[in-house]
A = this chain, B = another copy of it.
Amino acid sequence: MKLVFASNNKHKIAEIQNMLPEAIQIISLSAIGCYEDIPETADTIEGNAILKADYVTKNFGYDCFADDSGLEVNALGGAPGVYSARYAGEHKNDGDNIEKLLLELNGVSNRKANFKTVIALNYQGKQYVFTGIADGEIMRERRGNLGFGYDPVFVPAGYDQTFAEMAQQEKAQISHRGKATKELINFLTK
């Protein structure tokens, strides 16, 4: 059975393939001839994951899963959330986004935040979602150079290191993406 992962990241695809039985073959967007930018115009993290999965299923006819992630900061009412990747503007980078976040939280003592990943899965005519949450807090300055996005300023609850100071495997055990992926794998291997 072929299942499209709405991504072209070979590493992510291989990682998930390795957790599944051979009968489920994970294929990339390019493998099905989908080269266009898939719209991510929803106003929630879950909405974007669903948009992406539905785009592939409707236009290419494959069962598919897609993910979207964001950082939700309590003192900012859940912002940047679905806008995490473009918090500082459309053509800004991770560093700009972190800078804006630290500025918004300047002098704010409530640093609680969570990362959220939602995976939407279209499978045998039905749609499912799987949500992973990593709770933690926002540091006052960057630490570490692994990972990406807001990892250098996010410390998960109960840890001293930021996500950017953790080895990939350690982070995957406790991260939002790792947890949502585990739910997906549990579902597909049941």
CB distance from A48 to the nearest CB of B (A): 14
* 133-182 of chain A: CB within 8 A of chain B: 133, 135, 157-158
- Given A46-B74, A74-B46; A157-B128 close (CB under 8 Å): yes
**A187 at interface, CB cutoff 8 A:** yes
Chain A residues near B (Cβ < 8 Å): 46, 74, 112, 114, 127-133, 135, 157-158, 183, 186-187, 190
What are 18 sample pairs from A and B whose C-beta atoms fall under 8 A apart?
Answer: A46-B74, A112-B127, A112-B129, A114-B129, A128-B135, A128-B157, A128-B158, A129-B135, A130-B135, A131-B135, A132-B133, A133-B133, A135-B183, A157-B183, A157-B187, A158-B186, A158-B187, A158-B190
Copies held by the complex: 2
Which residues of the partner chain B approach A114 to less than 8 Å between Cβ atoms?
A: 129, 131
CB distance from A114 to the nearest CB of B (A): 6
**Chain B residue nearest to A78 in the complex (CB):** B44
Additional 18 contacts, C-beta under 8 A, given A112-B129, A114-B131: A46-B74, A112-B127, A114-B129, A128-B135, A128-B158, A129-B135, A129-B157, A130-B135, A130-B157, A131-B133, A131-B135, A132-B133, A133-B133, A157-B183, A157-B187, A158-B186, A158-B187, A158-B190
Cα–Cα, bound, A190→B173 (Å)? 14
Cα–Cα, bound, A130→B114 (Å)? 9
Cα–Cα, bound, A39→B20 (Å)? 47
Cα–Cα, bound, A116→B91 (Å)? 35
CB distance from A64 to the nearest CB of B (A): 16
**Chain B residue nearest to A187 in the complex (CB):** B158
Cα–Cα, bound, A46→B113 (Å)? 11
**Chain B residue nearest to A137 in the complex (CB):** B128
